[in-house]
Structure 1
Amino acid sequence: MLRKKVYLDPPKILVLGFGLIIVIGAFLLTLPASTANGQGLPVLNALFTATSATCVTGLVVVDTGTTFTMFGQITILCMIQVGGLGFMTFATFFAFLVGKRISLKERILLQESLNNLSMEGIVRLTRRILIFTAVIELVGAVLLSIRFSFDMPIGKAIYYGIFHSISNFNNAGFDLMGEFHSLTSYVDDPTVTLTVSALIILGGIGFIVMNELFEYRVSKRLSLHTKIVLMTSTVLVVVGTVGIFLLEYSNSLTLKPLSFLGKILGSLFQSVTARTAGANTLNIADLTQSSLLLIVLLMFVGASPGSTGGGIKTTTFTTLIGAVWSQIRGKEDVIFYRQRIEYETIYKALTVTFSGLFLVMLMTLILTISEHGQDFLAIVFEVTSAFATVGLSMGLTPELSPVGKALIIFTMFAGRVGPLTIAYAVTIRRKPDAFRYPKGKITIG
């Protein structure tokens, strides 16, 4: 009797691939060698940490710097690197090492994994991604190691420099500073603040954009995608920086005690890190409610397609803004830089935004029940941070109940893989409609 062949399309493979990495990572973190107390993490905490690392989120139920041994920390770092670049990118890297030819199916998976519009040149792009990553993380590690060497032994400084460079380029936000302090002791330090901000921004703009900027010296042209990503990213960073600066200027718990330069650096870093990084130089719980709401909005938008970050993505946000503006002006088409956005793209942007908003609202509703007594804003902040794979928290993460941890685990996974990808993965193989129904009219507004 012949067995029916199981068809695994790219969404299913991506979901299963990320799931497998999380399971392996969680198992390693339960080993006695992973924790300083020699007992390993409890299963649920290990699963939470592995999901947070693989989905490059940064939410933690235990302190990374004091809980884990070097073996545990390196395990987390490996999950961050694989999760940030995508397991297909790493599979391709090993194929390069052994001289294996990349098959058509693997190229399709790479295209899906990198969210690239075309399969043309996908292997060359993957090779460049690996080179970009190695160079950027190396430069970041050197700069941070030099700065940390003034505060700690040189060996420890180098290790910290490497860890924090990889963690922040991949927009993960894990840190080794201890006691959940993140980078708060460097709030007014230009070297650490600007280096880490640069790592976060480079990791968040997306490898497609990075590759186009690299080729610009020859091509002298940028695609519409790259123009929108650069424009939107710049506007969001500036708006976030100015907003946090004004809202926190007189807050004695955050910016008020700092010098003018320190205020600017603190505002800039919190604006940048809200774009899915997770490290922080100001205590998030001390921010005003206005700043927290602003950060929630920035987190929900997130980084850009094909990057190490999450959120609904900058291009999705800008497409919807363009659609609304076109409707207000009575225009039929959405135009950016003298180019028309296709209706299919607008529908997809609307679907991504609605599915993300629905997930955040649903998880928030359930958490208000499971985490009864917790501050509502803290729950909204936590859920949005998990969905957008940011990692910022008002301090709720370590206090989550087992049910709360399980919900945040699912939210982090859905945010990294994408709600639509999960939906495609669990549905039957999609087929085009055989016919179309007649048009109907309804009133809107």
Structure 2
Amino acid sequence: MFIQNLQYKLHKLNTAQIITLSFAGVIFVGGLILWLPFCTAAGQTTSFSDAMFTATTCVCVTGLVTVTTATHWSLIGKLVILLLIQIGGIGLIALASVIFISLNKKISLKNRRMIQESYNLEQMSGLVTVVRKVVLCVFAAEGIGAVGYAFCFVPEFGLVKGLGQAVFTAVSAFCNAGIDLLGENSLADYVTNPLVNVTTMGLIIASGLGFNVWWDLGERIKLVFQKKLSPGRLFRTLRLQSKLVLTTTGILLLGGTICILLFEYKNPDTLGSLSFGQKLMAAAFQSVTTRTAGFFTVAQGALTSGSVMICLFLMLVGGSPMGTAGGVKTTTLAVLVLSIIANLRGKKDVEVYGRKIRSSYIRSAQVVVGMAVSVLLISVLGIFAIMPDAPFVDVLYELTSAIGTVGLSRGLTAVLNTPAKWIVIFTMYLGRIGPLTLGAAVVSRAQKRTKDVHLAEENIMIG
């Protein structure tokens, strides 16, 4: 009877609720496994909070760690971490679909609708193909990245360990996890290494654009090679989603690189001692990694106040929809900025690239940003309630990194007490499932009961 009631309740859950509970379930199981003694290296002990913190940062592909991954975990523990990162990167819905496809099981109508909603697809046809393309793109990109890293890590660490480092780093980079097996300094020892920098930035940018943008670009490039489309018309023929993602991403990456280069140019603790080319590369890496990756080549605690402000903004925005990145997303920022511009110009509609943006998208963008900022504010206040002497900038940087699933820290993660760790855990979790998904999961029942009632209008003062 109990099992039947449970199955009935699970069947009534909507997509947002299923995603929310699924992530929580995988995190809990992963944390329990990492808590087992055989996952910890000899001479080390793992507390329950550290195990759950690590499982959360892996599944939520964040990168904040309370223990050093390279030395604290055993080989089994590292493999579990790698698996959790891959699950978090591919997504639970896609992973479950792949399992069904591999076992030749029929995907039900409810599961097809779940895939459609989780990937924000316009139609339900061809969903199996979409899932296959997602998985193939992930493994292909990670394979290319692993080859790139291998040219650097194999000569340094030897064949077996070097390949292990290459594969782990490639998976972590493409999934935007920011977790590595190189020690406490992340990629700081490779700040002047073009191969490591370019490979990492390429994986982060590729995954941060979103799979649908790559497919759209691929189709247009194919037409160009077939001489059915002129190169000059390539961008104009892209979907609006792709145009907004590429434009916003380009502006953020270029603007972030220039600002960080200017603010850190003479800072001896970050870029000051590097050549101009190396400074430019390090500034570009910092701008890219704040888009929810978590790797670093310069000390985050040594950044100037100007760079910290730029990084906070980039971390909160994050990457783009239908990718592995977190944050409120580039399209959300674009829609809000365009909405503000339209209102300042006195226009009724929000228009861009010859298209009108639906009012529902504008409301969704407002909800996403509003909930993200609210969660961030509550989390910051929670940390200060537990650790009142913690530096304000470090706390804000830590929690913005958590809500954006970035993984960068100014050193606060290592000194968090147990209650503070749980606050960061919940912040990472909420940042990964998305403020809009959480909101939909919470208010779905209330929405069903809402009657179509129009109340009388009354004027209020704004501003």
Q: What is the one-letter code of the residue matched to 1:123?
A: V
The residue that corresponds to 1:420 in the other structure is 436
1:435 alignment partner in structure 2 = 453
Aligned to 1:209: 213
C-alpha separation in 2, matches of 1:66 and 1:39: 9
Equivalent position to 2:119, from 99, 114, 119 = 114
Matched with 2:374 is: 358
Q: What SS is found at the alignment partner of 1:149?
A: helix
Shift in Å, 1:441: 2.6
Q: Secondary structure of 1:119's match?
A: coil
Partner of 2:363, secondary structure, is helix
Pairing 1:222–2:238 present: yes
Q: Which residue of structure 1 aligns with residue 100 of structure 2?
A: 95
The amino acid of 2:216's aligned partner reads: E
1:183-205, Cα deviation, whole Å (9 max, x unpaired): 00001111000000000011111
Counterpart of 1:346?
Answer: 362
The 1:149/1:345 distance shift into structure 2, 3 A limit, reads: same
Which amino acid counterpart does residue 13 of structure 1 have in structure 2? I
**2:250 maps to amino acid:** T
Quote the offset at 1:121 in angstroms. Answer: 2.7
2:351 aligned counterpart, secondary structure? strand
> Which sits farther off after the overlay, 90-99 or 430-439?
430-439
Residue identity (%)? 39
C-alpha displacement of 1:434: 3.0
Displacement of 1:426 in angstroms is 3.2
Counterpart Cα distance in 2 of 1:60 and 1:310: 17
The answer (yes or no) to whether the contact 2:315–2:401 under 8 Å persists in 1 is yes
Q: Offset at 1:161?
A: 0.3
What's the counterpart of residue 182 of structure 1?
186
1:293 aligns with 2:309: yes
Give the deviation of 1:423 after TM superposition: 2.8
For residues 161 and 102 of structure 1, the distance between their equivalents in structure 2, rounded to whole angstroms, comes to 35
CA distance in 2 between counterparts of 1:218 and 1:333 reads 34
Deviates more, 1:90-99 or 1:423-432: 423-432
How far apart, in 2, do the equivalents of 1:343 and 1:150 lie? 55
What CA deviation, in whole Å up to 9, does each residue of 1:400-431 have, x standing for no partner? 11111111100000000012322332345231
Pair 1:380-2:396 in alignment:
yes
Task: Indicate conservation of the 8 Å contact 1:168/1:277, yes or no.
Answer: yes
Alignment TM-score, normalising by the size of structure 2: 0.93
Residues 444 and 87 from structure 1, CA distance in 2 versus in 1: closer, same or farther, beyond 3 angstroms?
Answer: same
Shift of 1:444: 1.8
Structure 2 equivalent of residue 367 of structure 1: 383
Instruction: Tell me which moved more, 275-284 or 216-225.
Output: 216-225
Preserved CA contact (<8 Å) 1:34 1:40: no
Using the TM superposition, give the Cα deviation of residue 40 of structure 1 relative to its aligned residue in structure 2, in angstroms: 4.9
Partner of 1:17: 22
Give the alignment of 1:25-424 within 5 angstroms: 25-37=30-42, 40-178=45-183, 180-217=184-221, 221-424=237-440
Amino acid at match of 2:461: T
CA distance change for structure 1 residues 289 and 150 in 2, over 3 Å: closer, same or farther?
A: same
Contact 2:26/2:59 (8 A) holds in 1? yes
Distance between the aligned counterparts of 1:194 and 1:378, measured in 2? 28
Q: Secondary structure at the match of 2:89?
A: helix
Inter-partner Cα distance in structure 2 for 1:135 and 1:355: 35
- In the TM superposition, what is the alpha-carbon distance from 1:38 to its structure 2 partner? 5.9
Give the distance between the partners of 1:284 and 1:381, measured in 2 at CA: 10
For residues 162 and 40 of structure 1, the distance between their equivalents in structure 2, rounded to whole angstroms, comes to: 26
**Residues 125, 211 of structure 1: 8 Å contact kept:** no
Pairwise CA distance, 1:117: 4.2
Cα distance, 1:158 vs structure 2: 0.4
Task: Note if contact 1:303-1:309 (Cα within 8 Å) is conserved in structure 2.
Answer: yes
Q: Please say which of residues 243-252 and 328-337 is displaced more in the overlay.
A: 328-337
Is the 8 Å Cα contact of residues 364 and 436 (structure 2) preserved in structure 1?
no
Q: TM-score, normalised by structure 1?
A: 0.96
CA distance in 2, matches of 1:188, 1:47: 35
1:68-97 C-alpha deviation (Å, 9 max, x unpaired): 111111111111111111111111111121
Aligned residues: 444
Unaligned ranges ≥5, structure 1: none
Q: Is contact 2:44–2:72 with CA below 8 Å preserved after alignment?
A: no
- Which range moved further: 209-218 or 147-156? 209-218
Q: Which amino acid aligns with 1:443?
A: M
Q: Which amino acid in structure 1 is aligned with residue 363 of structure 2?
A: Y
Whether the aligned pair in 2 keeps the contact of 1:51 and 1:412 (CA below 8 Å) is: yes
**Which letter maps to 1:172?**
A
| Residue segments in structure 2 that go unaligned for 5+ positions in a row | 224-228, 230-236
SS of alignment partner, residue 356 of structure 2? strand
Whether contact under 8 Å (1:279, 1:392) holds in the other structure is yes
Deviations 1:335-391 (A, max 9, x none): 110101111111111111111111111111121221121110000000000000000
Equivalent-residue separation in structure 2 for 1:136 and 1:201 (angstroms)? 11
Question: For residue 126 of structure 1, what is the amino acid of its counterpart?
Answer: V
User: Please, what is the CA RMSD of the aligned residues?
Assistant: 1.6
- The whole-number CA distance in structure 2 between the counterparts of 1:116 and 1:379 is 37
- Equivalents in 2 of 1:122, 1:230: separation in Å? 25
Tell me the secondary structure at the aligned position of residue 15 of structure 1: helix
